[in-house]
Amino acid sequence: MLSFTDPLPERPRRVLVAGTSASGKTTLARAIGERLDLPHIEIDALFHGPDWTPRDTFVAEVEEFSSRPGWVTEWQYSSVRPLLAERADLMVWLDLSRAVVMRQVVRRTVRRSVRNQQLWNGNYEPPLRTVLTDPDHIIRWAWKTHHENADRITALHEQRPDLPIVRLPSHTAARQWLDRSLQ
């Protein structure tokens, strides 16, 4: 496992960004794509169909883009995590504290809801009151799944010891890593 100050063994072409929901994976993945001149594929946009239903074409689309020579995407959705991990040549783990993630997910969810911001394929954040009734509401989801990333990363490191994994414990570390490693 690499820290944000360690040099990369080579310039990556297929990059995964892991982290808890609302940790900033998509923002970081987009920045990595810009720095490396690689396309960023937002995996949520491929997964979510109308009314938050999974799209039938999701796995096929992930198989297609991940067979290309270069890309950056987020490492989520159990149906494609193994395939993406197998094809990646760098994993970037945004390992933020639960307190930071919760502050971010609440702020982001309220902002999206108040602005009635359209997300993917015609979907919107549900009313804020549903945080009390929906056990899978994004705020509750982020809380209950926060610990799972460390387990997934550990398992991946055991399965693919050749895959460089960069652990970024803060947004400051992420900015420093981008500036040092991806110039």
What residue spans define the domains of the chain? 14-181
- Kindly report, residue by residue over 80-108, the tens digit of the pLDDT: 999 999 999 999 999 999 999 999 999 99
Buried b (16+ CB within 10 A) or exposed e, 24-47: bbbebbebbbeebebebbebbebb
In this model, does residue 38 exceed pLDDT 90? yes
In this model, does residue 151 exceed pLDDT 90? yes
- 98-114 and 138-145 helices cross at what angle (nearest 10)? 170
Residues contacting 65, CB < 8 A, separation 6+: 39, 41, 71, 73
pLDDT of 183 reads: 75
**CATH 3.40.50.300 matches 14-181:** yes
**What is the strand order of the sheet 90-94 is part of?**
40-41, 71-74, 14-19, 90-94, 165-168
pLDDT of 154 reads: 97
Task: Grade residue 37 by pLDDT with cuts at 50, 70 and 90.
Answer: very high
Task: Grade residue 182 by pLDDT with cuts at 50, 70 and 90.
Answer: confident
Return mean pLDDT, the chain: 95
Helix (H, G, I), strand (E, B) or coil at 144: helix
**Radius of gyration (Cα) for the chain, nearest Å?**
16
Spatial separation of the C-alpha atoms in residues 51 and 93, rounded to whole Å: 30
